[in-house]
Every structure is written in C-alpha cells, then in structure tokens.
Structure 1
C-alpha cells in the first residue's frame, strides 16, 4: 500500500482512521477464505467473521443482486421476505421469540438496552470491564476502549472480566462465584444510586475479553443474581452466533443460558449491512409499547435476501459442522506449537486463541510481533484481550484443513523467530 494512498486517506477521511498492520494491505478482491491485494498477492483470511460463509459467496451475491433489481423499500409496506426470514431464524432458537431488524450490531445492542429499560422501568446496566458492544452513545458507555467525554456515566457498572492469567477469586475454580459476587454488588450499587438495575449485557463466550477458558454453567450463579433482581440478560451473539463455535448454533446455548434478548450483527448477512435481535414476546411487547421505534433500512428486502441466503448456505454447506471439525483439527495443531511464551491455547469451533505471557504477565509485544510476522507470510489474523496479548484466529466458516495446515506451518515459522 503506497504512502500516497495513506496520505489521501488521511486528507479525505481525517486522522487516526484505523488500519491493520504496520504495513497496511490494500485489498481489492475476496473469494472464500482468501483475500487478494492490488498486486494480486493472495492472503489467507484468518480474521474475518464478517464474511461468515466466505468472501463474495456466489449464492449470496446472486440473492442480493436479484432482490436489488426487483424491490428495495422499508417495512412500513407489507413484504413476505422479512416474515419468511423471521420464521427461519426464529426456528434456530430454543425459546419463543420475535425479530427486530437493524443495520448494525451497534444498533441492535442499543435497542436491547432500551428493551431492558422498557421491561424494568430502570436504567442501570452492567458489562465487563474489558468488552466492546458497539459505537452508539449508549453502548459505547458499556465498552471500555476509551472513557467518554466527562467520564463514565453513573448508571453503568463495569465488573471485572473473567481472566485466564489472573482469574477472579484467585483460581479458575473460584472464578464463576467471584464473577457473580461482583455482579451482585454492582446490582446493589445501581439500586442504591436510584438508577435501578435493568440488565447485564455480555458476549456468551467473552470474545473481546479473550475467550478466557470458561465452561458451560459458568454464568449460573450470575443468572440467579440477575433473576432475583428482576433484570434482563442481554446476549451479544455478533461473534459466537450462527454456528461459529461448532457445537452449538448460538453461544448462549453452549453456555447454558436462556437470555431475554439476543443480538446479532456482522455474520448475519455475510458482510451485507444487516443486523437484528430476537426478544421474548413479553420483552418485545414492552418495548413496542414504550418506544416508537422505526428503522428505515432495517429489514429492507435486499438485506433480508442476504440474511436468508446466508442462513440457507450455513445449512446447505454444513458450515456449523465444518466449524466443529476443522476447529478441532486446528486447535490440536495449535496445541502442538511450542514456545516459552505460550501460556494457553483454547478454542470453540472456528474461534481460537493463543495467550502469550512472560513470567505470568501478558506478553503484548510478542503477540504484536507474531501478528506482523504472519502478515508478512500472507496470513491475516489479529489479537485480543485486555493487554492485546492473545492471538485471535476467527476465519470465515469455509476455512478448511488445508487452510488450517497453512496457518499452522506459518505460525510455527513465526514462533521460531520470536525471542523468549
């Protein structure tokens, strides 16, 4: 990527617009799990959960084009497309639900907060202290990347996130009860402050927290505290949803939780800007009574066509099963990697992480060096965690064993170059 393109980008888009890698890549084409730069160089994409079914999947591209050439309008007109999709999607849930569609996961999470307010009549929320749920003003207050202007608002409480290197309560076994105790304390503080407790929002696999090795049942004591207080459980499935974790279609199923609201985003339309949420009828009814919500582009026929075809491709191509099988194969290969800085290797389906530490402390610099070394070997991946010390592998769901072998070979080479 030439400096002229970077200069033009800053002049036209403004300063500090994020890019990946020390040497940013100019991507011009995608296919399956591959991306191609302006010079025709192929890169293995081990990062993108956006192109869930693979970049430019021909069936989804065709569905978008055909619907765009027929009709695109909003949901104030009657249209069967959104109803057909709602029936198909709701069939993937173990509880009775109703669908509301938006354009982004941020919007879906914003609406989920308002749903909890509508049900409880309260406005206080809890999230972890190492999370991200979007960029509207409301959900940005839950996220922890940068403090808002004027400081953190008083109606939000951030509880310590579960952690593998320094587990809550002093041990992995104590972490579940310790997390629940912190949530209970935050609930009490919100009630005492006058804001009251409306709900807890979390990713059921704690993806942005680094997927810290929790197990099904981890949240059970927390669920008891939330239910006693009359609050709602809001599950952000933007990362684990639609079969990514392999064993289950949704992260909350794997965790063993029945939420009140489930939000969805990026993978829902294979990269087309479509998102949404599913809520119980009681929650949806309370929200529709309290708020006059309408979204011009949410649920438009083109977005619905993209989402419907994405759902069909997941089923027809067995992508959830592929995530389970290839994910297990890749996880075993990752665990065979050897380096003094590898503290833990873990994964759920096609969401995997390698935690790097030096003398029990996060090795952020080493994680950054591996990511850059992999980029130079034409594999795109990222890192996550409080200290950005966990290598993150989250590829399109069409990732196969040959792709896994490629990333394993190049990771081995990159670790061989990494000083201890």
Structure 2
C-alpha cells in the first residue's frame, strides 16, 4: 500500500463531501481550478484555518482545533520570540550569502555544537528536499558510487533525485534503478533483540545487489524515527547497518527533518538515540518554525570533494531572516525546556492512549512527541487501514488533527508542536476515546 493510496480518503482534494466544508466550497473550487489536482487537502471535510497559537489552530468560524500533527511550527504556532526575531531582521537586512554577514556564521557554530565533533561543516538550503538532494550529490561525489539503500516506505522529499528514494509517494512515482529498499526495524512484529541484526542483514543484501548491478554503494539514507514507515523508535538499532554500508564504501545519511530539534524527547537528534555518528545529516521543516530554512551538516572530509569541485550557491539559503528564525527556535527550545517537555508530555500521551484499552489499538509506540498508534483487526491482528482512516476523519470532526503513516496507512501519526501540554493530552485522549466508541 503506497503513501498516496493510504492517504486517498484523508488528503485527496476530490474526496470532500459537497456541502460539508462549512461554507468553504468556493475556496475549495478556486483552489482546484488554480492549483490543479496535485495539491491535496487533508480530510474528507477540509479545514479552513486562519489563525494559530501554540498547539492550537482556529478556523474561519472561530472554532479551536488541537494540532496533533504539525512539526513545521515545531515550537508553536506564531511563537512570539520567533516572530519578533524575523520581523526585526526583515526590517534591517535580508540578502544572499555572497555578502559577509555574521548571522550565518553565528548560527552555524551554534548548530554544530549540538552534534558530535566529527560533524564540522554545514551547507544551507531552503527545504528538506533540497538538503537531501544536495546530500545525495555530496555522497555520490565522495564515494564515486550511485547506489542508495532506503526503507520500504521512506519519504525524503520531492525533487527528482529524492523522489527516486521516496517510495511512500506512490502513484506514478517510481524509485530509481539505483535504489534498493529494506524493511524498517519493525518493533511491533520483530523481537527487540533481533531488530539490529535483521536490519543489518537486510542492508547487507541490498548493498550486495547494488554492487552486483554495477551501481556500487553510495549511501544508506534513513529517517531515524522511520516516520513514513510507521514510526519505529527502538534505540540502538542502526549501528550494525551503518557498519555494513561503510564496509561497502558508502556513507550514512541521517535525515533528521522529522526526528530532529528535540522531537524525540531524549536527544536533540534522532541519530543520537542509536549512538552512531552519521557522515551527513539533513534537516528542514522545524528548523525555522515555518520559515524556509534547511541544512546539510557533514564531516568535512566527506563534503570536500563536492565542495571543491562544484561552486554551490542557493540564493535564499542561509539568508539573514531565515538565520534569525533558526536562532530563535534554538532559543525557545532551550529557554522553555522543550526537550524535557517532549519527553514528559509524550510519555503521558502514550500512556493515555494505551490506557484507553481498545482492542483495535494494537500498539502504541514512539519517543517524545512522535507517536505511532497501530490500528489492527482485534481478531486477526492484520493492519486495519479502513478504521485508521475513519478515526482520523472523525477526530477532525472533534477538532483534533492528526494523520496516518505505515505501509498500509494503518498507523495513526501523532506529531504535535513541542509545546503540547498535559491539558492537550487530555483533550486528545478524550476525543480518541469518543471516536473509538462511535466506531465500535
């Protein structure tokens, strides 16, 4: 089951019920006419959001929603310190990085200080897709190989290069012939003690296939929370697989767009949970709390062959306004203790969902404020995509916003802003309890 099929009745702009969008039909029609069918909307009854604050959103009728999904506004919608920093810098200067400016240097020093010392250089982009595209180019130049190993339902972006390593997109998208997929370390179906060994064995087989096909091994590319695959958060799983790839001459690229910036509640970066140091790290969405800023961090020796041979330039990447936003995000995470909040509130949310005790909840997993809830048939244990889809849409009717992930679209994906609170946990669990009872 592809990502696009799993989302078909949740985000397809053609799936809303006529007359059911609270007066938004003209806006929906205009959107379809002007933007075309590729730009999808969430939910059978799309939400018309006009304002946000913290972990809450407000629609055109003034109704309040609980945002259980948004990692773009990671430190909260309309966070005052981020807003003020961006406004101040925009009123002073915004230009490209071929002029000297202290903002990009200061931020780079601060960002690199959150990572192992071997990761000592950073290059900027505007989106996570661009950062991953750049990282693939860097890896290929360094290794002289093209083959890439990814997980079976990975998502790494929407440029041509990263679409080729994003099987979860589904539809007419196909992965490249230089790509091999492996199953994620599925903690629901594989004993914890076997996860690392099995995953490494699968990566070894994929690497052997790539070499046999003449592609060689360029990179193992992983979202370290395996978000599109279904949210698998068991720590200390990746080390053996990384060793395998390096043994074949490849590099490990950790895609931290999803788990990075304190999301997992125990470490700043998802790869740190596995006690490995990547060769390249990419980041995006939550980096600027909604401002377009992304980056690729790496070992200087890995970056050097590309950086000395290609005059990389990206007009908006690392601009002073985006750097101001990114700096303010780090301030808010530190000053408001959001790493600890993600840990504590995330644990309370997992406990609250587990305590509902519904037999259709097959597993509640995750780390910090990244949680996956496996919805399965209570008699057979098989994935229940239909119920998961209905749960998401019925939660929307109770003004609670989440989505789905997983190979069958059977996993509820809960990924709220890091400012999610105990009262938000109560709202979420109460709404989920009501919806499960409704669908009984």
Which of 349, 354, 364 pairs up with 2:385? 364
Query: What is the TM-score normalised by the length of structure 2?
Result: 0.91
Give the corresponding residue for 2:5. Answer: none
Q: Deviations over 1:275-327 (max 9, x none)?
A: 11111111222220232211000000111111011111111111111111111
Report the secondary structure of 2:362's partner residue: strand
Q: Note if 1:115 corresponds to 2:132.
A: no
Which of 298, 301, 305 pairs up with 2:317? 298
Report the secondary structure of 1:36's partner residue: strand
Q: Deviations over 1:359-406 (max 9, x none)?
A: 121101111111111111111111111111111111001111111111
Q: What does 1:59-138 correspond to in 2, within 5 Å?
A: 59-96=81-118, 97-138=120-161
**Distance of aligned partners of 1:244 and 1:305 in 2 relative to their CA distance in 1, 3 Å threshold:** same
**Distance of aligned partners of 1:335 and 1:246 in 2 relative to their CA distance in 1, 3 Å threshold:** same
Q: Structure 2 unaligned segments of length 5 or more: list them.
A: 1-20
User: What is the alpha-carbon distance in structure 1 between the residues aligned to residue 61 and residue 289 of structure 2?
Assistant: 25
CA contact (8 A) 2:232 2:366 kept: no
**Distance of aligned partners of 1:148 and 1:354 in 2 relative to their CA distance in 1, 3 Å threshold:** closer
Cα distance, 1:41 vs structure 2? 0.5
**Number of aligned positions between the proteins:** 415
Give the corresponding residue for 1:178. Answer: 198
Cα distance, 1:26 vs structure 2? 0.4
User: What is the alpha-carbon distance in structure 2 between the residues aligned to residue 226 and residue 54 of structure 1?
Assistant: 38
Give the corresponding residue for 2:61. Answer: 39
Give the corresponding residue for 1:376. Answer: 397
**Distance of aligned partners of 1:14 and 1:241 in 2 relative to their CA distance in 1, 3 Å threshold:** same
Give the corresponding residue for 1:274. Answer: 293
Cα distance, 1:16 vs structure 2? 4.0
CA contact (8 A) 2:196 2:238 kept: yes
Cα distance, 1:150 vs structure 2? 9.1
Q: Note if 1:155 corresponds to 2:178.
A: yes
Give the corresponding residue for 2:354. Answer: 335
Cα distance, 1:147 vs structure 2? 5.8
**Which consecutive aligned stretches of 4+ in structure 1 deviate over 4 angstroms post-superposition?**
146-151
Q: Structure 1 unaligned segments of length 5 or more: list them.
A: none
Q: Deviations over 1:97-156 (max 9, x none)?
A: 211111000000011111111211111111111110000101101111356869543211
Q: Deviations over 1:51-99 (max 9, x none)?
A: 0110011111111111111111111111000001001111101233211
Q: Note if 1:210 corresponds to 2:230.
A: yes
- RMSD in angstroms over aligned alpha carbons? 1.5
Q: Note if 1:52 corresponds to 2:52.
A: no
Q: Deviations over 1:179-211 (max 9, x none)?
A: 211211111122222221111100112111112
Report the secondary structure of 1:145's partner residue: helix
Query: What is the TM-score normalised by the length of structure 1?
Result: 0.96
User: What is the alpha-carbon distance in structure 2 between the residues aligned to residue 55 and residue 135 of structure 1?
Assistant: 25
